[in-house]
Amino acid sequence: MPILVMKFGGTSVATLDRIRRAAKRVGVEVAKGYDVIVIVSAMSGETNKLVGYVEETSPLFDAREYDAVVSSGENVTAGLMALTLQEMDVPARSWQGWQVPVKTTDAHASARIEEIPPENIMAKFGEGMRVAVVAGFQGISPEGRITTLGRGGSDTTAVAFAAAFGAERCDIYTDVDGVYTTDPRICDKARKLDRISFEEMLELASLGAKVLQTRSVELAMRYKVKLRVLSSFEEQSDEAGTLVCDEEDIMESNVVAGVAHSRDEAKMTLVSVADRPGIAAAIFTPLSEAGVNVDMIVQNISEEGRTDMTFSCPTNQVARAEKALEEAKAEGNINFTEVRADTDVCKVSVVGIGMRSATGVAAKMFQVLANEGINIQVITTSEIKVSVLVERKYMELAVQALHAAFGLDKAA
């Protein structure tokens, strides 16, 4: 029988009533003839509660025990979902990561999936099981210890299972009914997309869109897994949600597919560094080693052998960046007069595969922002995106103006 993967996030399984609702959706797919692999998250709020217990018990916790504790939330949901399906006369069984087994690296709290052998679950399908309910977010290390995959790990689990089992599709059920052209909370004319390419979704996810976790989209793109994002709380139909797929599966699209934003950005400037070969490496190597995620980079024009270097990073990494740069200065690797950090900025981006063949997107974006009196501080581009840093107070205005200017409230 064909295999379908269905993933339910924390809000979709937050209560027993919601688990029953999700189970009914699974039952519909079983009735269509699918063998179903259900990936479940912990009930909403449960993981945060477990993390709090760990931190209160042991501030400098052992990561292996952290994984043992926080992975238990998914185990509870998997068991409850399997019991609910059994009550509906659907042959179902719960599976923890080690039982599959989901083989991962030994990087506790941020492990990566290395292999999912399908034999155990396929054998049970052959014996009459119709639904395997798998605890998401977890696996087993080479040493046999429980591991967890980090934030959004259940999305990654679902896509990995779809790839390993050759699933027809991977449905991601969440609290939104698809992928929108921008955040509907900011722009009331945001429109749900029927389809979006892997590349566009990956850019939007990395630029601040919260619908899908970046690693899951990367995995789906690599293994050509069709993803469908849809709501647990809307009526189910074959046309529901948004399909994330290959560019070739999209007949026609707007030049720009969406506008993304991120509030959690900071702009950092090293004032008066030496303008010499190797200075960029001397600055960004210690930042990399400190785990600072640098995005945009701008170097000013050199004057008398000195220059300013500006870059952006997440606001919660500013202190780490300052520490790494001061240590590099103390060691004599770089020299600067000061580090300026501005956390009152945001990043706004336009994304679309149509930008590959269309000209003038950047110019139009800059003109729209200029017309609204919004000053651009930093710019970065790729083949299918243009991102700018602007003052945070202008974020909503920038998103709304760009959404309207590129006609995103209208279908292609």
CATH of the domain at 89: 3.40.1160.10
Tokens of 165: 């089992």
In a domain, 274, yes or no: no
Chain position carrying tokens 């009459």: 128
| pLDDT tens across the length of the chain (412 residues) | 899 999 999 999 999 999 999 999 999 999 999 999 999 999 999 999 999 999 999 988 999 999 999 999 999 999 999 999 999 999 999 999 999 999 999 999 999 999 999 999 999 999 999 999 999 999 999 999 999 998 889 999 999 999 999 999 999 998 888 889 998 889 989 998 999 999 999 888 877 666 788 889 999 999 999 999 998 887 766 668 899 988 887 766 678 999 999 998 999 999 999 888 999 999 999 999 998 999 899 988 777 789 999 999 999 999 999 999 999 999 988 999 999 999 999 999 999 988 888 889 999 999 999 999 999 999 999 899 999 999 999 999 999 999 999 999 876 5
List the domain range (segments joined by +) for residue 10: 3-175
Shortest CA distance to 232 belongs to which of 31, 37, 41? 41
Annotated binding site for substrate: 47, 74
Residues that constitute the known binding site for ATP: 7-10, 174-175, 180, 185, 210-211
Tally of domains within the chain: 1
Residue ranges for the known binding site are: 7-10, 47, 74, 174-175, 180, 185, 210-211
Q: Does the residue 111 lie in any domain? A: yes
Q: Does 23 fall in a domain?
A: yes
Residue 189 covered by a domain: no
How much is the pLDDT for 16? 97
Query: Is 332:326 a contact under the CB 8 Å cutoff?
Result: no
Examine residue 165 and state whether it is found in any structural domain, yes or no.
yes
Buried b (16+ CB within 10 A) or exposed e, 344-375: ebbbbbbbbbbbeeeeebeebbeebbeeeebe
Does a structural domain hold residue 190?
A: no
Closest CA to 207 of 49, 64, 347, 43: 347
Does residue 215 sit within a domain? no
Tell whether 37 is covered by a domain.
yes
Cβ atoms of 41 and 10 within 8 Å: the answer is yes
